C-alpha cells in the first residue's frame, strides 16, 4: 500500500540555520509533490509545488528538491527565523498527506 513518511515528528534548530525536512514515499509515482505549512488549529497553507520532471524549485528562502528514483523530496528553509516555527506537510498529487514535521526555530 502507499506510504508517505516525513523524517521526524519534530525538528529543533537555531535561528539562522538551515532547516531540512524529508518526505519519503513508497508504492506510488506522483505527478507532483506539494509542501504546506500548518499552524496550530489552522488550515494548511500552500508553499511550493514541484513536478515529477523537475529536480529543484525555489521561492525566497524555501527550496524543494524531488528525486523520483529515491522517491524522496527535501524541503529546505534557509536563514530560519522563529516565525518559521510550524508543522510542515508534504502531499502527493494534492490528496495524500504525510503526518508532518513540527519545526521549532529557537532564537
Partner 1 sequence: DSGVTQTPKHLITATGQRVTLRCSPRSGDLSVYWYQQSLDQGLQFLIQYYNGEERAKGNILERFSAQQFPDLHSELNLSSLELGDSALYFCASSGDRGETQYFGPGTRLLVL
Return residues touching partner 1 (CB under 8 A): 32, 34, 41-46, 49, 89, 94-100
Cα 50 to Cα 5, 13, 56, 104, distances in angstroms: 17, 25, 7, 24
Cα–Cα distance measured from residue 40 to residue 83, given in angstroms and rounded to the nearest whole number: 13
Q: How far is the CB of 14 from partner 1 (least distance, A)?
A: 27
DSSP state of 16: T
CA angle at residue 92 from 106 to 29, to 5 degrees? Answer: 130
Question: Between residues 51 and 58, which has the closer beta carbon with respect to partner 1?
Answer: 51
Residue number with CB closer to partner 1 (37 or 63)? 37
The nearest distance, CB 80 to partner 1, in angstroms, is: 24
Q: Tell me whether residue 80 or residue 87 sits nearer to partner 1 (CB atom).
A: 87
Shortest Å distance, C-beta 31 to partner 1: 9
Q: Using CA atoms, how far apart are residues 74 and 50, in angstroms rounded to an integer?
A: 11
Amino acid at each position: 500500500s502507499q506510504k508517505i513518511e516525513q523524517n521526524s515528528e519534530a525538528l529543533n534548530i537555531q535561528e539562522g540555520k538551515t532547516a531540512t525536512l524529508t518526505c519519503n514515499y513508497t508504492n506510488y509515482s506522483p505527478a507532483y509533490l506539494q509542501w504546506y505549512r500548518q499552524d496550530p488549529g489552522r488550515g494548511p497553507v500552500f508553499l511550493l509545488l514541484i513536478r515529477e520532471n523537475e529536480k529543484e524549485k525555489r521561492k525566497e528562502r524555501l527550496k524543494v528538491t524531488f528525486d523520483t528514483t529515491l522517491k524522496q523530496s527535501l524541503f529546505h528553509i534557509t536563514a530560519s527565523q522563529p516565525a518559521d516555527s510550524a508543522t510542515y506537510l508534504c502531499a502527493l498529487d494534492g490528496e495524500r498527506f504525510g503526518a508532518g514535521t513540527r519545526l521549532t526555530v529557537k532564537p
